[in-house]
Structure 1
């Protein structure tokens, strides 16, 4: 028999993360587009990010029929958080930025994220933004595919911290850190130290 799950955070009831998930207000609207293969991922950080942001939304799929409508959300300038030659580094909103950003964040492996762009030409056509200063990932259970690679929730937090400084969105990471600690505890500290060198 499967263990009862929390419907909100989808964790097993005894490991429910809801008490750790904040409800943070942001000027920026965050639209997370999750590849279906990510929904079963143990950490599913895009879901945690959407739950923690009042102005955040998670959509799951490969082809998004309503994308045009979402991108036309009144009062926001849509941009895609994805590296590229033309990508502009995110900087804090100035006095003149009347319209905040609708930050579209693809969630999946690099290959799956590129597939989302390929299958949704409107996404690929958006102006791209990227993080200027990347702080190291706290995701100690996985070797990053390249330096500066972050989990989705970390990328969202760092983007909002850059855009809305001095407001800080680090509280969004609390359930993520608890998840990682839980996984380390489950595998045993010694195994973790041996396999991950304590990084």
Structure 2
């Protein structure tokens, strides 16, 4: 849609686990029988203490390790917005090393950015979400066949608006949307923007795909009629990518770019549906 304009990350991570991930446990030599020739002198290995993998202290605001905190790039105070975001996050995104949702949430007041994690959302299990979906001022950012450009939506109502954004890869986002009838109640909208994704440390399906944070930044700027909001929300993402690239990460071109320039190194899929998606990407047809 993570390049969403379905709001999702690409399939790749692209980041450096060394800065973002857990401290790694040092591997112990494989236990070998003391009676074997390779086991001489190894009898005491069983008694060695096992190192516990410890997670480095994280910043309470941006969620990054304290040594690489991005708070200097966040707004001093949460942005004053009337629009509320509901981020529907696929469980696989929750533990990704390089995520944009924590940075997005850090830019906004707590009551203006709510994150719900899961694949299935029933009316009985999520009564608040069901109520939000039935509100006439709720929009869902999902570029389906019937989606309207957000710029063309009549926003004259004085009541606050809600925007639902699905956070996951394209396939994850499509699965969540198709399997949850609640998300087909709000008006579908899409972004018509010339903005190219700056989330260059993860692979996006097409050149036009944006990450969840980027989608939210553009949408909030439109809803609030304030272009500076986009610049403010994008700043921590730019800092994150810059840091990762300085420490060895590589720029990830979109799958569309790789296919069109003969740089796609993976074998073509045998699955007809996946092969059709690749053909559409190569011919610049919306998928």
TM-score exceeds 0.5: yes
**What is the CA deviation profile of residues 59-107 of structure 1, one whole-angstrom value per residue up to 9, with x for unaligned ones?**
2122235544235359871111010111111127867322332100000
TM-score normalised to structure 2 length: 0.60
After the TM superposition, which of the residue ranges 63-72 and 42-51 deviates more from structure 2?
Answer: 63-72
**Higher strand fraction: Structure 1 or Structure 2?**
1
Unmatched segments (≥5 aa) in structure 2: 1-53, 254-287
Instruction: For structure 1, list consecutive stretches of 5 or more residues without a partner in the other structure.
Output: none
Q: Which residue of 2 aligns with 1:18?
A: 71
Tell me what 2:118 maps to: 61
* Matched position secondary structure for 1:187: coil
- State the Cα RMSD in Å: 2.6
**Alignment correspondent of 2:144:** 84
Kindly tell me the number of residue pairs found equivalent between the two proteins. 193
Map 1:93-112 to 2 at 5 A: 96-112=156-172
- TM-score of the two chains, using structure 1 as the length reference: 0.84
Residues 64 and 16 (structure 1), Cα distance of their counterparts in 2 relative to 1, 3 Å cut: farther
Query: Equivalent residue of 1:32, what SS?
Result: strand
Tell me how far 1:168 sits from its aligned partner: 2.3
Whose RCO is larger (CA < 8 A, sep 6+)? 2
Contact residue 71 and residue 78 of structure 1 kept, 8 A? no
Equivalent residues of 2:197, 2:207 under 8 A apart: no
Aligned to 2:237: 176
Q: Larger Rg: 1 or 2?
A: 2
